[in-house]
Amino acid sequence: MELHYNNFNGYDLESFVNKLSSNNVLKILDLSWNRLGASETCINKLSESLKLNKSITHLDLSHNNIKYNESLIEFIKSNHSIIGLHILGNDIEIDSNG
């Protein structure tokens, strides 16, 4: 699902994020070039939903002005179903060990 370049600020995606945890069909989620980092609450909810979602294999959160967020980092470290993760353009760095 391509939701890039929509200027979402986090609050706009709240209902979508809430349904994401129970979705078992979605494989690709592209949220790049939005403003998700404007809402730490949304990032926390997104992280919690993605922890429960095991169908997504490709996630793009590039260029969302996301600051270091403990729940997002915990999600990234614990997820084993995502094989493509893009976070360029945020204030997050991940090495090969997570």
Residue 69: CATH number of its domain: 3.80.10.10
Domain count, the chain: 1
Residue 29 lies in a domain: yes
Phi, psi (degrees; rounded to nearest 5) at 45: -65, -40
At 4-55, the pLDDT tens digits run 998 887 777 888 888 898 999 999 999 999 999 888 888 898 999 999 898 9
Residue 98 lies in a domain: no
Residue 36 lies in a domain: yes
CB 31 within 8 A of CB 64: yes
pLDDT of res. 64:
92
Residue 1 lies in a domain: no
CB 48 within 8 A of CB 76: no
The answer, yes or no, to whether residue 59 has pLDDT greater than 90, is yes
pLDDT of res. 97:
64
Range of the domain at 43: 11-86
CB 69 within 8 A of CB 42: no
